[in-house]
Structure 1
Amino acid sequence: MAMQASEIEALIREGFPGSEVKIDDLAGDGNHYAATVVAEQFRGLSRVKQHQAVYAALKGKMDGSHGELHALALTTKVPE
């Protein structure tokens, strides 16, 4: 089952309070998204650790072949 952009955004915002989150549906199919997340919580973390933290906030929605979210292109940043 496909995820809605609003559900992805809500999970990320819950994991990163005060963050800026932008979700784009890349294919119009509810399975391929791009997310840009700007969060103070990323400060001092490597890009890999930032992305792992976002995946953790998605609470298993991307896990394995049974995940609800097929593809998520991530851009993570620390606020300027």
Structure 2
Amino acid sequence: METEAVAQLIRNGLSDAEVQVSGDGSHFDAIVVSESFEGLTPIKKQRLVMDTVRDQIASGELHALSIKTLTPAQSTAEHVGRK
């Protein structure tokens, strides 16, 4: 799989998400920023994202996905902290 294909699957499942994906074809890292994560526990955020790629993981097309989930406020705070 290509990184953009993984990103598009996540965007299709979480239409308001900003998604960045890096990887090597079977192992990927995703940063997902979405208002949908507001008020959710970390595990529920992870599940929302994993649900978008469940079929690809089940088929073996996507072997591993590491996910970092952020709300827009958390994303802004993280960027401010990097400066």
Q: TM-score, normalised to structure 1's length?
A: 0.83
Residues matched between the structures, number = 73
Give the aligned residue type for 1:18: D
Which segments of 5 or more consecutive residues in structure 1 lack a partner in the other structure?
none
Which segments of 5 or more consecutive residues in structure 2 lack a partner in the other structure?
74-83
Residue 79 of structure 1, aligned match among 67, 72, 82: 72
Question: In percent, how many aligned pairs have the same letter?
Answer: 36
Richer in helix (by share): 2
Query: Partners in 1 of 2:64 and 2:44 — Cα distance?
Result: 18
Question: Which entry has the higher C-alpha Rg, 1 or 2?
Answer: 2
SS at match of 1:68: coil
Runs of 4+ displaced beyond 6 Å? none
| 2:44 is the counterpart of 1:49 | yes
SS at match of 1:44: coil
Pairing 1:1-80 to 2, within 5 Å after superposition: 3-25=1-23, 28=24, 30-63=25-58, 66-80=59-73
Q: TM-score, normalised to structure 2's length?
A: 0.80
